[in-house]
């Protein structure tokens, strides 16, 4: 694999050289330009992906700081027994147990369905996260999750660009290969025709 890659790189470098070469045809030069364009795209996308990853990480960090200020844990008390319901998680059904519960925040009583352990009965105390208004909320985003989100955005950006660029290059190369085969066939027929005429 490494030898094939090095050989193709050397061939592409020769295709881009200036000057007359009877063995280098227009499709060869075009393929070399497409390969060079793909390489430039991949190099240029590195700082772009890093910038987008940093921006996403900063956004998630700001969200984590806001949630750390606004979210807090309180104790809720279930008012009914737990029931199971199915939700789709990555196209796989997952069973979650919930129960209606109530809790008090700033002298105001709130009610909502909260996640509980299977078989939980009415009167069970559950620790939940609430927002600044006392409504049920998810756990705050952690600093690790924020950093991971930034890395994933950067990797996804570069990888998706590389896949699209490589797909376009392979499609262009297949088209050029068809042109080369037609040209070679025409040249062979012309050569055989000239050889038989002598």
Q: What CA–CA distance (Å, rounded) separates 149 from 106?
A: 34
CB-based contacts of 78, cutoff 8 Å, min separation 6: 99, 100, 101, 114, 116, 120, 121, 122, 123, 124, 125, 126
- The total number of residues shown for the chain amounts to 198
Q: What is the pLDDT of residues 60-70, one digit of tens each?
A: 999 999 988 88
Q: What CA–CA distance (Å, rounded) separates 62 from 149?
A: 13
**Both tokens assigned to 76:** 């809720």
Please compute the mean of the pLDDT values over residues 18-40 and round it to a whole number.
75
Q: Name the residue ranges covered by the structural domains of the chain.
A: 70-138
Q: What is the pLDDT of residues 144-176, one digit of tens each?
A: 999 999 999 999 999 999 999 999 999 998 988
3-state secondary structure of 156: helix
Name the DSSP class of 81. Answer: -
CB-based contacts of 49, cutoff 8 Å, min separation 6: 154, 155, 157, 158, 161
The separation between CA 73 and the C-alpha centre of its own chain, rounded to angstroms, equals 33
> Residue 19 pLDDT > 70, yes or no?
no
> Residue 50 pLDDT > 90, yes or no?
yes
pLDDT band at 8 (very low <50, low <70, confident <90, very high): low
- The pLDDT, as a whole number, for residue 198 is 55
pLDDT band at 185 (very low <50, low <70, confident <90, very high): confident
Kindly list the distances between the CA atom of residue 31 and the CA atoms of 2, 54, 58, 152, in Å, as whole numbers in the listed order: 20, 35, 40, 32
- The pLDDT, as a whole number, for residue 55 is 96
> Residue 6 pLDDT > 70, yes or no?
no
Report the phi/psi class of residue 24: left, alpha or beta, with left for phi > 0 and alpha for psi in -120 to 50: beta
**Contact present, 100 and 116 (Cβ < 8 Å):** no
- The pLDDT, as a whole number, for residue 11 is 52
């Amino acid at each position: 694999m490494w030898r094939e890659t090095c050989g193709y790189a050397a061939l592409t470098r020769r295709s881009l050289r200036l000057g007359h070469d009877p063995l280098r045809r227009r499709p060869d030069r075009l393929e070399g330009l497409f390969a060079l364009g793909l390489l430039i795209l991949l190099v240029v996308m590195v700082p772009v992906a890093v910038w987008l990853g940093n921006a996403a990480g900063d956004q998630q960090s700001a969200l984590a700081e806001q949630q750390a200020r606004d979210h807090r844990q309180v104790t809720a008390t279930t008012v009914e027994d737990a029931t199971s319901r199915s939700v789709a998680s990555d196209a796989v059904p997952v069973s979650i147990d919930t129960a209606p519960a109530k809790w008090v925040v700033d002298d105001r009583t709130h009610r909502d369905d909260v996640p509980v352990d299977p078989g939980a009965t009415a009167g069970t105390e559950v620790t939940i996260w609430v927002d600044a208004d006392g409504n049920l909320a998810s756990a705050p985003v952690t600093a690790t999750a924020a950093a991971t989100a930034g890395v994933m955005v950067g990797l996804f950006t570069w990888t998706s660009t590389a896949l699209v660029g490589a797909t376009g290059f392979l499609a262009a190369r297949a088209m050029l290969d068809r042109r080369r085969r037609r040209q070679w066939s025409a040249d062979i027929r012309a050569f055989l025709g000239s050889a038989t005429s002598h």
